[in-house]
Amino acid sequence: MTRTVTLEDLAARIGPGAKIAVAPDYAGVPMALAREIIRQGPGGLHVVCVPSAGMIVDLLIGAGLVTTLETAAVTLGEAGGAPRFQRAVRDGTIRIMDATCPAIHAALLAAQKGIPFMPLRGIIGTGILENRPDWKTMQNPFADSPDPIVAIPAIIPDVAIFHAPEADRFGNVRIGRRRELATMAYAAKKTLVTVERVVAGNLLHDEASAAGVLPSLYVDAVAVVPEGARPYGMWSGEYDTDSAEISRYARMARTEDGFREYLGLAALEPAR
Amino acid sequence: MSVPATHRERLIVAISRLLDGCRHVAVGASSPIPAAAAMLLRAMKEAEDELIYVSVLGSQEHNFFTNGGVELFDCAAQGRIDAFFLGGGQIDGQGNINLVGTGTYPQTNVRWPGSFGSAYLAFLVPRLILFREEHTARVFVEKVDFVSAPGTSAPEVYRPGGPRALLTGLGQFSFDRETARFTLQTIHPGHTLEEIRAATGFTFDLAPDLGITPDPDPATLALLRGRVLEEVSECYPEFAMSARAELGAALSPAASRATATRAIP
């Protein structure tokens, strides 16, 4: 049974060293949860962007909580590059595992199916493959002539996190057509969700929209956090992305001091 | 509508010409000019009773994917996408693109966002169009520092797709997958071959009929300034606004002169 908990309790379920899958900017970014994670400070995180991310990852990196980042891209969109990410890459303070979008989807799909890897076209001859010793090129076992194909190992996140418009009291969560959220949850050992609201009734009872609902079977805990994606917007229409706020962050986060000031931190505590 | 084509309109129309014959055009994030070009093609083909699918990532209205971020890639792998666009912080003479950064990987001096889906789509989409407005020697380099997507592959590598053309702010090139070389096809009005050579860090070939990028006809311009700008504004409001402002200023020089005068104290 899914538990409805406070935001503090939700974040407390993420321990140091966890491998966390994070929703992309267009699918409900759990920003409030990220700020609470930063307050609690579990270090040594391995963050997997599904398949790319923006400010949420920049915040976690800036707060010193990330040791490994697996992503197809990190950007603040119109506000430009992600400053703490860029800095950490240049200084070598995080281990970057550059990927490409479909490879991250495929790795999660392998986890969803309980298989060790997923073969994928493309990628051969890229600098990405060259720098991913964990990805292997193999011969297509069904071809008679040479046909190299890349095997992407499964990614099994310890935790998947995202923000959604609504859950019911059983823990079923509306994800609409944001199917990557289901992929993350199927693949992860644990899924933690923040929602705008809890609705009456059972979301699975409406046949017309049940396919856009992630069943509570895959959801470990839900916290009600209105506007939990801000400054990112919600695809379900509650609010739009606040570009001015993201730009303000981009400017402040250019320096370490500005970053701390943005977060309201006097000084960063070392990660626990 | 006697305003001549603006630079950006020329680019949009040039891309839509490159898309002719496509059934499904997909456009990645933050790509207003390619999005407008795909929408222009759709509008023009509609007049001929031909249905073109346009999938603009980031749009609610002009995107019919319902299976999450993976659907674009699955579609491409099955050959259901005819054309896609990629840019690059660096693009080299062999058609390799770099979206990762400059300097020695991983601790690149300049770090760009990352490769996104390029390492996949460049292999699978038959008509890959490279589009980078900034045409300088720092973008068009001899050799990229990091290969996000290679221009060509060894013969045994499954590769139905790859670069077909490169459009920049100065001109339009074709790409030959056999020789892995670019050929300059047209130069945009107001620019010269010498200028392009100076701004390009690699050698390229010249088309025997090398000419000037043609201007759009009035009917195409009208469609672009009307319906297409309206459609683009849903996903790219700022782009549509600035395109309209540019047209407005050209349409009423008196008004813009008056504004200019007022601005001087």
Q: Domain extents for chain A?
A: 3-116+154-261
ipTM of the complex: 0.95
- Give the torsion sign (CA, B26, B27, B28, B29): negative
Cβ under 8 Å to B: A residues 190-249? none
* B48: closest CA of chain A, how far (Å): 33
Sheet holding A136-139, edge to edge: A117-120, A148-153, A136-139
Segment A236-261 shows an average pLDDT of 96
Q: Do A177 and B158 touch (CB under 8 A)?
A: no
Q: Do A149 and B101 touch (CB under 8 A)?
A: no
Task: Kindly tell me if the per-residue pLDDT of B144 is higher than 60.
Answer: yes
Chain A partners within 8 Å of B70 (Cβ): 102, 105, 109, 179-180, 183
* B181: closest CA of chain A, how far (Å): 18
CA end-to-end span of chain A: 30
Q: Report the topology of domain B7-263.
A: Glutaconate Coenzyme A-transferase (3.40.1080)
The domain segmentation of chain B, as residue ranges, is: 7-263
Chain A partners within 8 Å of B119 (Cβ): 100, 103, 122-123, 126, 128-129
Task: Kindly tell me if the per-residue pLDDT of B249 is higher than 90.
Answer: no
The answer to whether the peptide bond before residue A83 is cis (omega within 30 degrees of 0) is no
Determine which helix (DSSP H) or strand (DSSP E) holds B173, and give its type and residue range. Answer: strand B171-176
Q: pLDDT band at residue B60, thresholds of 50, 70 and 90?
A: confident
% of chain A with per-residue pLDDT over 70? 97
Tell me if the domain spanning A3-116+154-261 has CATH number 3.30.70.1400: no
Task: Kindly tell me if the per-residue pLDDT of A152 is higher than 70.
Answer: yes
Residue A197's DSSP bridge partners are: A166
Interface test with B, best of A95, A124, A246 (most B CBs within 10 A): A124
The two structure tokens encoding residue B112:
């760009």
Q: Do B113 and A98 touch (CB under 8 A)?
A: no
Q: Which residue has the tokens 């993350």?
A: A184
**Alpha carbon distance A120, B248 (integer Å):** 49
Task: Kindly tell me if the per-residue pLDDT of A233 is higher than 60.
Answer: yes
Sheet holding B140-141, edge to edge: B97-98, B90-92, B140-141
pLDDT at A200: 96
How does A41-58 read in b/e, with b if 16+ C-beta sit within 10 Å? Answer: bbeebbbbbbbbbbbbbb
**Alpha carbon distance A218, A192 (integer Å):** 9
Which residue in the set A90, A121, A178 is minimally distant from B77, CB to CB?
Answer: A121
pLDDT at A267: 52
Closest among A37, A31, A49 to A105, alpha carbons compared: A49
- The pLDDT tens digits of the residues spanning B150-183 come to 999 999 999 999 999 999 999 999 999 999 999 9
Task: Kindly tell me if the per-residue pLDDT of B259 is higher than 50.
Answer: no
| Phi, psi for residue B218 in degrees, rounded to 5 | -60, -35
- The pLDDT tens digits of the residues spanning A5-27 come to 999 999 999 999 999 999 999 99
Chain B partners within 8 Å of A184 (Cβ): none
